[in-house]
Amino acid sequence: MTHLNIFNQNTQGKILRVQIRQPELQKMLTEIQKAVNGKNDVIFKVLLTILAGGHILLEDMPGVGKTTLALAISRTMELSCKRIQFTPDVLPTDVTGFTMYQKNNDKFVFRKGAAFCNLLLADEINRTSSKTQSALLELMEEGAVTIDGMTYPLPNPHIVIATQNPITCVGTQKLPESQMDRFFVRLSLGYPSPEHEIALLKARQGTDPLDDVESSADTETLLEMRREVNHVYVSDMIYQYIVDLVQATRNHPDIRLGISPRGSLALMQMAKSCAWAQGRDYLLPDDVSFICADVFCHRLLLHGTDGSPERSRKIVKEILSAVPVPESE
């Protein structure tokens, strides 16, 4: 079995060892590692989000492997994948599609936009106009596109991996809180360690590691895995724990905008994915605290001028330490 050592912020320094007991998930992780080396924790959380039926926001500097990660995921799951580079001149119709009049048969024909795929890589989402951002965020929520009164369903599954550069980069603008709330998690790959960067350089001597990524599941397998995740049991004790954590964000003196009910649902679904990945059909408090910071931090609006991810994670860590952890049944 594959083990991931992840820092659990609820246990103040304890290393939580997550053992993946689902063979399909383990094989996916192994295949993606061929292209993205040394980022097991991020890959694992991205897979958890996909199993939970959510969308992912990757915030990082350019060139750290965000696109490579998305392509590796699409190959190992046999997902149709499209990429759209968001710039100020990208229009909403580039994402959703548009109707075109055909003179030869006197009909309007719908031309599909980039969103019509299983996995959409929305690159540098914070560089485009707010109108185009809204079009993307709307179809993420609805799972369909409505053009000229006609509704066109998106492929199932439909996953969006959006990337954004840090707000300090030239030509970026901050996403509104309502749009950030649509993403289940915000993750960061970060720079590789020296040894992993050496391995990266060696792996690209005349070859592309993406060519070595093999299929380990298809869309039907993924949908079945999602159904199994949805059947994970949540006790009243865990419901109360999730609500207590959410309420703590709404009453914290350093937080101006706390977690919404959509955030509560995202935390529950992510925790269910984590439990399922470890071969359980029920939730434990550790499943909730394991993923809590990744679900909460991008949704928080803080008082003061320092709204950095580091400060948000520190506050979430304080909340996890302060809120009583229920005893496992």
Cβ atoms 157, 219 nearer than 8 A: yes
Average pLDDT over residues 10-20: 59
* Measured distance between the N- and C-terminal CA atoms of the chain, rounded to whole angstroms: 26
Length of the chain: 329
pLDDT of residue 169: 58
pLDDT band at residue 62 under the 50/70/90 scheme: confident
Q: How far apart are CA 271 and CA 291, in angstroms?
A: 7
pLDDT tens-place string over residues 209-225: 899 999 999 999 999 99
**What is the pTM assigned to this prediction?**
0.92
Cβ atoms 25, 70 nearer than 8 A: no
User: What is the distance of C-alpha 29 from the center of its chain?
Assistant: 15
pLDDT of residue 328: 66
Cβ atoms 187, 42 nearer than 8 A: yes
pLDDT of residue 171: 62
The mean-pLDDT minimum among 149-163, 172-186, 253-267 falls in 172-186
Q: Which amino acid is at 135?
A: A
Domains annotated for the chain, with CATH where assigned, are 3-207+217-322 (3.40.50.300)
> At 128, is the secondary structure helix, strand, or coil?
coil
Residue 249 has φ and ψ, to the nearest 5°, of -70, -30
Nearest to 322 by CA among 295, 284, 292: 292
Q: Is the pLDDT of residue 4 over 70?
A: no
Find where tokens 């009910």 sit: 261
Average pLDDT over residues 39-49: 93
Cβ neighbourhood burial of 101 (10 Å; 0-12, 13-18, 19+): exposed
Cβ atoms 160, 111 nearer than 8 A: no
**For residue 166, what are the contacts with CB-CB under 8 A and spacing of at least 6?**
59, 60, 61, 172
Nearest to 136 by CA among 157, 155, 159: 159
pLDDT of residue 11: 40
Residue 117 has φ and ψ, to the nearest 5°, of -160, 170
